[in-house]
Every structure is written in structure tokens, then in C-alpha cells.
Amino acid sequence: MRLIVSFFLLLLASTNISAQSIEGTSETFSNNEPVTNTEIAIIPEPVSVIKQTGHFILPANITIQAGRSAELKQTVAFLQERLTTATGHYVTTISTPSPTATFKLILNEKTDASIGAEGYQLSVGLKQVTIRANKPAGLFYGVQTLLQLLPKEIESKELVKGIKWTMPCVEITDFPRLGWRGLMFDVARHFFTKQEVKQYIDAMVRYKYNILHLHLADDEGWRIEIKGLPKLTEVGAWRVNRTGTFGDFIPPKPEEPRNYGGFYTQEDIKELIQYAKERFVNIMPEIDVPGHSLAAIAAYPELSCTPDAVNYKVRSGEKIMDWSRGAPPLGIVDNTLCPANEKVYVFLDTVFSQIAKLFPFEYIHVGGDEVARNFWEKNDQVAALMKREGLKTIPEVQAYFEKRVEQIITAKGKKFMAWDEVLEGGVSQSAAVMSWRDMKHGTEAAKAGHEVVMSPTQFAYLDYMQADVITEPKVYASLRLSKSYEFDPVPEGVNPIYIKGGQANLWTEQVYNIRQAEYMTWPRGFAIAESVWSPKEKKNWPNFFARTEQHFKRLDIAETKYAPSVYDPIFAVKRSADRQLAVSLSTEVEGLDMYYSFDNSFPDHFYPKYTTPLVPPIDAKVLKVITYRGKTPVGRMMNMPIEELEKRAGKK
């Protein structure tokens, strides 16, 4: 079988037939060791890859040829730095054409309509590498692909010796499926420094994301300087520092210092925008109103409908919402801006005026989600507003608020975007919708003629647990890698012109630092990247996961944290007729073996291998399981308490 596969690959290479359906795929044989072509493992999957014969060998003296365009400066510097750091080779750059240049970055004189503004053509020959594109962004994305063709050690932050720096000869034509390829980074729940945001941008551009959605304000912190409103950052940016399971903290005591947090000055924001722009990323700001506004209200209590707001503090992780009846929640405290208070609209005009001047991106996101309306329902000001404006329901009150806010946004020359709840009371036709609750709301919005960005929880919420709750920071839902890979941002029956693209969202209530932010983003960020960039017909889970495993090795060398959860066993439990537990184990990927113990010791591949459902011995306290591929452990040691299995099985 191996000889047949090798012969077939050789035949494809020698005849220049597209080998994209072969490259990066994996076949599992009887010994459970996958045979994978690791030379071409590109994420996201390109439109076309044609494998050629031979290999390009990186010379000791490298010349990069690129034009004088200012937009190419960062791309050239990026490539130069990456090549120099890991290889130690000498790299020079030139702006005039040279037949002997090692790397040629060429902007097409005549536009190639087939690849659009972000596409590229990459040709790796025996002696020279050429990237062609219509626009500088295409050359930048071509460089990202180029680096993925080099050995994984190219990701090193220091010199690596003893590596043969080669690339397979290949012809690649590539362009994105969708224009909006976003990641949302919540810097409100936990503050991330300017340098950490840059680190996040550096990671996302490797996988051709082009939108960074910054969630800049919430109950837990206001993160952007607004001149003339100093308390937003003096008061609203700081809270009591607590560690543990966010949302279940005891209320802070008056004497506890409020010194945990931070904010970005307007100069910081300008620096981040420029940094992102050089990497062909737009930053979209979000100020979440009218709900999720406790930090603003703590700074300026007059923005609330509720007199008791003078006693409110920025949330430190204590419970402030009652979700027992579902959505929308009941507010335990009133974290909403008052829709009947003209001071609110003056405040928002000031905020959005400055944000509009700071951020070049055409959209401003204004939130609109999870508004606890119970304080509005019993408020005299709101009742007077309803009578005056002829509003019959509380959702119509929010719709009134959203229309006022949209007028502010559009007056600044920007476009209004909000979460899908704003559809409930009605919004203007020009409002853009980010659909998070499920695909249904985005589908309805698109059919009604709204611009839509799909970011549904069931595929794209990166704060969700990736494996069993016994190993993950506890969140109310789970999202495994294979499920993320099923994301199709363009649903059937919808005119695709209304689907701007797709986005994954990283909420950070349970994400305390940048390392955990990386862990939650990758590898699910690979799956979303491929969903918004690659042709729909190219998507293939075994192929994708084979490439993902190669990128795990790259992330290891880059010292980027990621979740190995895809290797972890999946537990299912039920009771038999005699009420005994029956524990079934499965894995997200094929070709893995699972070994287990009930005796408190740590199993390896000499222990019993799982083949049929397990019945825990009568006095056992814990089931330990680990996954192997052949003789190599690939999963984490899972320690499942029998007591937890009993709870999951329930009573029968």
C-alpha cells in the first residue's frame, strides 16, 4: 500500500497535475501511524496548489526584490526578519528588478481579476521564488504562505543550526472566499496591554485574518481614553483583583483596592491602528451599549435610570445578572444606559465623535446585546418616553435607543453595526448585523437586506470549553475543533452579497492572560480561518487535521500556546438496567488508542486498551485515561472522578 501511494504521488508530481487533494492528507494503516506529506501543510487551504518536481534551496546570501511602495515596506521587513532570525542567512533588499533576486515580490501592472485585491500567485522554482499580486495585501498573504512552505524551524525566535532550508517547488494561486475575516478580542473583561494586542495581531495575520474587533467597554472595564470624560478611565478602568471562576466571586469589600485593570490612551490606539494597518488588518472598535455599561455608569451615575447607581462600582466578577429565566436576563443591578435620558445621547455623541476620529475603519460596533430591561419596565422616565414616542413594548424602547445611536454614528461618517438582538425591536435598513446567537438571526437579517457578519456561538465562540469540563476553565458551553471546522458563514438560500464574512469571538471573563488567550484561540482559529478564506468545496476534516498537526509543531517552535484538546478522550456515561455505570470513550480524531486505569496509577500503552464500555469497580474513585498514537502519547492524562460520572449519569 505504501509503495502504491508513493508511486502515485511521484506520478502526479512528474505530470504537473494538481496534487492539492493529496498534499496534507492522511491515511491510517494497521499500525495507526498516519502517512502524511508534511511538506505542504498550508492553513488556510489555498484555492489551487500544483506540486512541481524538485526543491528550492535557500542560499546563504538572499536578495528580496520589491517595489518602493510604502505599503510593501512592512511586508519586506517582515520577510527579512523571519528569514534572518532562524536561518542566520544574510538578507538584502533591492527595489529595482534583478534576474538573480532570490525572492521577487511583484505588483501586477495589469490587474488579474481572478485573484482580486487580496489574492496572490506564488511560484517556487529551483532557483527563485516569485509572488505576484494586484495589491500589497496579496503580497503580504503570499509571504505568509511562503513561510509555511519552509521547515517548521523558520518559526524560531533564535538561530537554528543543522536545518536544511528547502521548499518544495510549487505553483499556488490563492484568494479569499470572503472579505471580512475577523477575530474579536475582548480587552474589557480582562485588560491586555498594547504589546499583547500586537502579539495577538502577529498571530492572526499568519492565518490571513484581516479584522480585529476590539471589545473596549463592558461591565468590568472601560478601556479607551475619552477626552473630556476623565472618570471613564480614572474610575471605569479599575476594579478589585480576584482570581478563580469569574462570575462566582463574592462581592468586593469597601476596603479592597481597585487597582486591577488599565486602559489605552488615544496615542496607544493610534499606535495599534498603525501596527495593524502595516499588517493589512483593520481594527473595529466596540462600545457595548445600552447594556453591559456598568463601568461607564460607575464613572458617571447620571447615565442610569436608577437612583441607586450612585453606589455602583465596576464589576469585579461578582454576580450581577440572573439568567434563571433565560435571555434576556434580569439585572440584579442596573447595568444599562437610560434610553429616556438626553444626557446619555450627549455622552455617546462625545464618545463616538472621538472614536470615529481615531479609528479609520468604516464600521463602529455598538453592542446592543443582553440588555436587562427589568429596570426599564418600572421606570417613570421610560414610561414617559413610551407615551411620548408611541412605543408599545420594551423592545421598542431599545429600538428607539438604537436608532438614536445610529444617527450619532452616521453623523460621524461611519456605519452602525450591532449584535443581532437589535433586530427584535426594529432597526434601520442601513444597520449592519453581527449574528452571534445562531445562524438563524443572521439568515433572517440577510434576507431582510442587512449586511451581516456571521459569528455564531455554535461554531465561533472561542471562550467555550474545548474539551471535558474536568480539564478546561469552566464555561457554560463547549466547542470542539471539529465543530468549529463545520462553520459555513454563507448559509443556503441567502444572497451572498449580504454576507460580509465571518468572525470568531474570544470573550475573556475566564481568560486572565495572553497565554490563555492563545490557548483558547488556536487551533480553533485555524478552523475559522479556513472557513472564511478557503473555497467551500476544499474543506475536508481529515486533510485539515493533518495540516493542523503540522502547525502544532510550528506553534511549539514559535512558543505560541495552543490547546491539544482534540486529542483528549470524550466521555459518555449511562446506566444499565441494573443501574451500573457504563462509560463509553471516543476521540475527535481517528487512529488513536486509549489506555485506562481505575487503581489511581497513571496508565501508559502497557495498560488495558479501551475497546468496550467500562464498568467502574465498586470502590474505584477515579478513571484515568490517556490517548496514544502507536507507542507515542498524544493526549493529556485525564483524571475523571467516578463521582462526576455518577452525576452525569443521573438517576434511573
The one catalytic residue among 292, 365, 441, 551:
292
To the query of whether residue 370 is one of the catalytic residues in this protein, the response is yes
HEC per residue, 148-173: HHCCHHHHCCCCCCCCCCEEEEEEEE
All 3 cell numbers of residue 366?
Answer: 455598538
Per-residue pLDDT, 579: 82
Whole-number Å distance between alpha carbons of 409 and 416: 6
Whole-number Å distance between alpha carbons of 291 and 154: 46
Per-residue pLDDT, 28: 32
Per-residue pLDDT, 379: 95
Per-residue pLDDT, 652: 61
To the query of whether residue 450 is one of the catalytic residues in this protein, the response is no
Per-residue pLDDT, 37: 56
Whole-number Å distance between alpha carbons of 124 and 594: 42
The one catalytic residue among 186, 218, 278, 451:
218
Contact yes or no for 544/530 (Cβ under 8 A): yes
The one catalytic residue among 153, 349, 370, 438:
370
What sign does the dihedral 418-423-429-433 (CA atoms) show?
positive
DSSP string, 463-498: TSBSS-TTTS---S-B--HHHHTT--SS-TTS-GGG
All 3 cell numbers of residue 216?
Answer: 473596549
The one-letter code for the residue type at 218 is D
Domains and CATH numbers, the chain: 40-174 (3.30.379.10), 180-565 (3.20.20.80), 568-649 (2.60.40)
Answer left, alpha or beta for residue 317, where phi above 0 means left and psi between -120 and 50 means alpha.
left
Whole-number Å distance between alpha carbons of 579 and 152: 51
For residue 437, CA distances in Å to 186, 338, 419, 440, 457 come to: 17, 25, 9, 8, 6
All 3 cell numbers of residue 321?
Answer: 445578572
Mean pLDDT in consecutive groups of 10 residues from the start of the chain, 652 residues: 37 36 33 52 98 96 93 94 97 94 97 97 98 98 98 97 96 98 98 98 98 98 98 98 91 95 98 98 98 98 96 96 86 97 98 98 97 94 97 95 97 97 89 95 96 98 96 91 98 95 97 97 98 97 97 97 97 88 95 97 98 96 98 96 94 67
Can you point out the beta strands (E) in 587-637? 593-597, 622-629, 632-633
Whole-number Å distance between alpha carbons of 62 and 90: 6
To the query of whether residue 55 is one of the catalytic residues in this protein, the response is no
Per-residue pLDDT, 427: 87
* 487: nearest Cα among 468, 512, 504: 504
Name every residue whose Cβ is closer than 8 Å to that of residue 558 and which is 6 or more positions away in sequence: 155, 156, 157
